[in-house]
Structure formats: structure tokens, C-alpha cells
Structure 1
Amino acid sequence: MSSHVYRRHDLLHVEPEAWREMLLATGRLDRLADEAQRLVEGWAERGLPVIVRRGAPGDDESAIAVGLPLPPTLGKLRLGFFIPPGHVAASVAALSVAEAARSAPAHLRPQLEAAAALGRRFGLWPAVFGALLWQHLTGLAYLRPGSDIDLIWPVPRRESLDELLDDLAELDEAGPNRLDGEIILSTGEGANWRELRGALACPGGTVLVKSMHGAELRCARHLFM
């Protein structure tokens, strides 16, 4: 097992030679259309990262479970692979909301800039994942008119959490696109911010918490005790 602890949503560069060997070993490209095959085959050589994902029970724990999504025009498939730890070239910095706003379609920029400003007010630096991330990284069309904007928020101080969630709900309601994403706990586990907000409003409310090892319902209030 790798001595480095990877978390969900971490971005990694893989050495091109290791990428080619992995594709040959898995043989998963035969089911893809020609254009999709070429994109995946050249993924590492283009300097594009993969994203760390949760593995399944029984997977080889000495390898790193990663994935990449194809753009909607190529089927919008989410492809999963396993990379030997020694072949990860480097971690890639998360894409900040502020940086994503500069390359996003014009109609999304005010909403993203407002999210970045919200983060600054709480001393947080939210990051982007999902369609907006992959469109920024690849230059391909991942966003569609109704695409969610997926954001990762580091957990704030408990006394600020309710205010942050309420402000996120206001940004979401104002649009133009639906804001989705997770609050990431200090353990690296994550909970959907909207579900967490609803659970905290109910005595004994539970929320689905995701980790590298699985997902389970927990009492929302107990997460911050």
C-alpha cells in the first residue's frame, strides 16, 4: 500500500509510459468509440490529470483507484482505473473557484465570483470539481446548459457553519446554475452541503458521509462534536 494518503477528489498526474502500460493491462478501451479511445490513450501525454476515487471492496489496495470522465459528446462515461503508486508523477493543485471563474462561460462568472467572495469572507478556499473542472483542464465541452456547478468547501469553524450553509443556499437559489458539492471534514470525509444543511436543521438528522472506504449515514450534529 502506498505510504501517501490520497483523498477523494485529489488530482494526480500519471507518467505517460505507466499510463500506456495500464491501458494495455486493463484492455478497457475496446468498448469505446474511436474518438474516445484516442482521447483516453493520449490523456497522460497531454498532461491531463486523473481524479482519485473510492475503490470497491476487494480492490487491490496497493494501487490507487482513479477515474476520468468523458465529455457528453463522447458518451459521458466515467472510466475507472488503478494506478500503481510508484507511477504517479505528481499531485496537481486543486482548481480554485476564483481561477475557474476566469475560464468559465460568461453567464456563470458572477455566480462563481460570488462563491469565491463567500469563501474569502469565511477564510476558506473552495475548489471546483465535476464538469466545470474537466472543461477547464481539457478545453473540451463538458458543461451543458443545465450542468451543476460542483464545489468542494473545507469545513469552517462550527460557529460559522450554519451561516456558510445558509449563504450557499442563497447563492444556489439566485442561480443561474444549481450549486452542488461537498463540505470536506477535517478527516477528509465529505457530505453534500445541501443534505448537511437539512440534517442540521432537524434534531437527530442524518447525512450521508463519504470517504475513501465507503459511505454511511451519520448524525449530522455528531460530526462537529
Structure 2
Amino acid sequence: MVEVLERHTMVKASIAAWNAVMIQHHELAKEPVIEGWARAGHPLVVRRPGCSDTAGTIPLGLPLPPAHGKRRIAIVLAPREIIEHKPPPLLAEAAAAAPSAWRTTIDRLLELCPETRTFGSLAWEYLTGLPYLSQGSDLDLLWPVSAVRQANTLPSRIAEIAQQAPVRLDGEIVAAAGGVQWRELAGDDDDEVLVKGPTVVHTMTKAAFLGGLLP
């Protein structure tokens, strides 16, 4: 049985597997940054499966930096072709690659939840050293409910920080059932929210989600 990896998990492919992908997708191999991706030690990210993905494989994505067309490349690998997998980086670690204008906001976010993780442009720049960040970049975050003492107040406290931030805060609050866009939980117009799991999307009440219940 194939291990189900959470969305946003960062994985590294074996060089042999990546070479095989380049042979299969020769149009990608024409881009030096893509062709040398695995040799440079750069990661891929786990995405939700698509209809055309082969059963028994792990669906992965590679977003290229703006200078390389900002393309989003989707591939699949067999589990044996993955040599490492780990969660996306902690915000506290990736902060070293962030613009100085974000520093106060990041400090407030870490005070709220030190276990906050980041994905998107900041994570990719931190992990690869390539220029992913631009003036229009969002700060993409994952807040684990399990790390917060008062989960019910987390959405409103994120909203307070977002109001004063020089960058748009995007991302999900993550609980046992999956991830929910934080703004859905901060609003008070709907009791049900859309929960994104590793393979499916479903709905739950806010209270059930923040309480750590499974669907």
C-alpha cells in the first residue's frame, strides 16, 4: 500500500528517477534548471492527485521561479523513487530568506505559533536559493491546530496580524481532518468550512474542525 503523504510535504527524487522523468518529458529537459533539479538537491512538493495520475504513484509538483516562466510542472513518481520526505520548512528557519519589511510580521506570527510552517515563494527561495520572491509575493503559511493552546482564537488572532502586515497572509490552518483556508475560519457567516485532505475535499463545521475531529 502506497504511503499517503500530506499536501505540501517536500520530497527529493533520486537522480536516476529524475533522469528517467527527463527522458519521458524531453521538453522539460531543455530547461537547464529543470534538468539539473535533482542533482542540485532541490525538492518537489506533494500535491493532490489528478484524474490522469497513475494509481500507486505519488503526485508531485514543481513551481518554477518567475525568471523561468513561473510554470507549474506536475509529475508522478513511484514511492521507491523518493529518497527523502519532510514537512515544509518552519517559518522560523525560512525567515532568513524573507524581505526585511516582513520581519515584524514574522516575529508576531512566531509569537502566536512558533511551529508555523511556510510554503510557496518564501519556502522555495529558502530551500533552493533561487529567486522566487517578488514584490507581489504572498506569505504562505500553515498553522497546526495541535500546537496552539486555544485553537478557537487562532483565526481571529491571525486576522489581527494580517490587518497590519505589509504582505498578504495566505495559507491554511491544519487539523486532523486536513487544512482549511484561514479566512474561512475567521469569518462568521458560514458554520461549515471546506477541508482539504491528502486526496479529497470535504466539509465540516468549524467547531468540529478546530476540535480536531475526523470527517
TM-score greater than 0.5 by the shorter chain: yes
Cα distance between partner residues in 2 of 1:63 and 1:91:
15
The alpha-carbon distance between structure 1 residues 157 and 93, as it changes in their structure 2 partners (threshold 3 A), is closer
Gaps of 5+ in 1: none
Query: In the alignment, does 2:186 pair up with 1:197?
Result: yes
Q: CA deviation at 1:26?
A: 3.6
Of 34, 51, 54, the match for 1:60: 54
Cα 1:158/1:49, change in 2 over 3 Å: closer
Alignment equivalent of 2:75, drawn from 81, 85, 88? 81
Whether 2:44 is the aligned partner of 1:45: answer no
Distance 1:16 1:182, change over 3 A: same
Aligned-pair CA distance for 1:146: 2.4
Cα distance in 2, alignment partners of residues 60 and 220 from structure 1: 34
Q: CA deviation at 1:103?
A: 2.4
Q: CA deviation at 1:27?
A: 3.9
- Identity among equivalent positions (%) equals 35
Residues 61 and 155 of structure 1, relative CA distance in 2, 3 Å threshold:
farther
Match of 1:19 in 2: 18
Q: Which of 58, 64, 70 in structure 1 is aligned with 2:64?
A: 70
1:105 to 2:126 alignment = no
1:145 is matched with which residue: 135, 154, 160?
A: 135
Q: TM-score by structure 2 length? A: 0.89
What root-mean-square deviation, in Å, do the aligned CA atoms of Structure 1 and Structure 2 show? 2.0
* Whole-angstrom CA distance in 1 between matches of 2:148 and 2:42: 36
Separation in structure 1 between the aligned mates of residue 98 and residue 9 of structure 2, nearest angstrom: 21
Pairing of 1:159-178 with structure 2 (within 5 A): 160-178=150-168
Instruction: Judge conservation of contact 1:13–1:92 (CA < 8 Å) in 2.
Output: no
- Partner residue of 1:10? 9
